[in-house]
Amino acid sequence: MANCDITSITNPTSTSSFVAGSSVNVTWSDSGPGCNDWNVTQIVLQTNYQSNSWSNVSTLFTGLHRVTSNAKSVTLPSSGLNYGDYYRLKINYEQEEPEQ
């Protein structure tokens, strides 16, 4: 089983700012050739408003998208986001199941 890591999200950055409902090109770096048979399965927008833990706000993508593409365009929710709140993206990814 090959090991794969998304080592960093390169866009958006910690200083990025967006308007609700806008499209965002999420980009990341991966650990290399071991990621060839891995897929991003979900991109989730999270916030930690008035808490010490992150909670999901909105699922921006669900499906299968190659980790090695290093980018996926998503659309932010058009409502429910608050100016000044802190947000982050969580990317879930997994290895493809071998064909039987």
> Which CATH number belongs to the domain containing residue 50 in this structure?
2.60.40
Quick check: is 75 in a domain? yes
Quick check: is 67 in a domain? yes
DSSP reduced 3-state for 48: coil
Query: What pLDDT is attached to residue 1?
Result: 60
Query: What pLDDT is attached to residue 2?
Result: 73
Quick check: is 100 in a domain? no
Under DSSP, the state recorded for 4 is -
Predicted confidence (pLDDT) per residue in 8-32, tens digit: 999 998 888 888 899 999 999 999 8
**CA distance to 71, 97, 99, per residue, from 66 (Å):** 9, 14, 17
Q: What pTM, to 2 d.p., does this model score?
A: 0.89
Residue showing tokens 């669900």: 62
What range defines the domain where residue 80 resides? Answer: 6-95
Give CA 30 to chain center in angstroms: 13
Predicted confidence (pLDDT) per residue in 26-75, tens digit: 999 999 889 999 999 999 999 987 777 899 999 999 999 999 999 999 99
Quick check: is 59 in a domain? yes
pLDDT band at 82 (very low <50, low <70, confident <90, very high): confident
Indicate the number of domains in the chain.
1
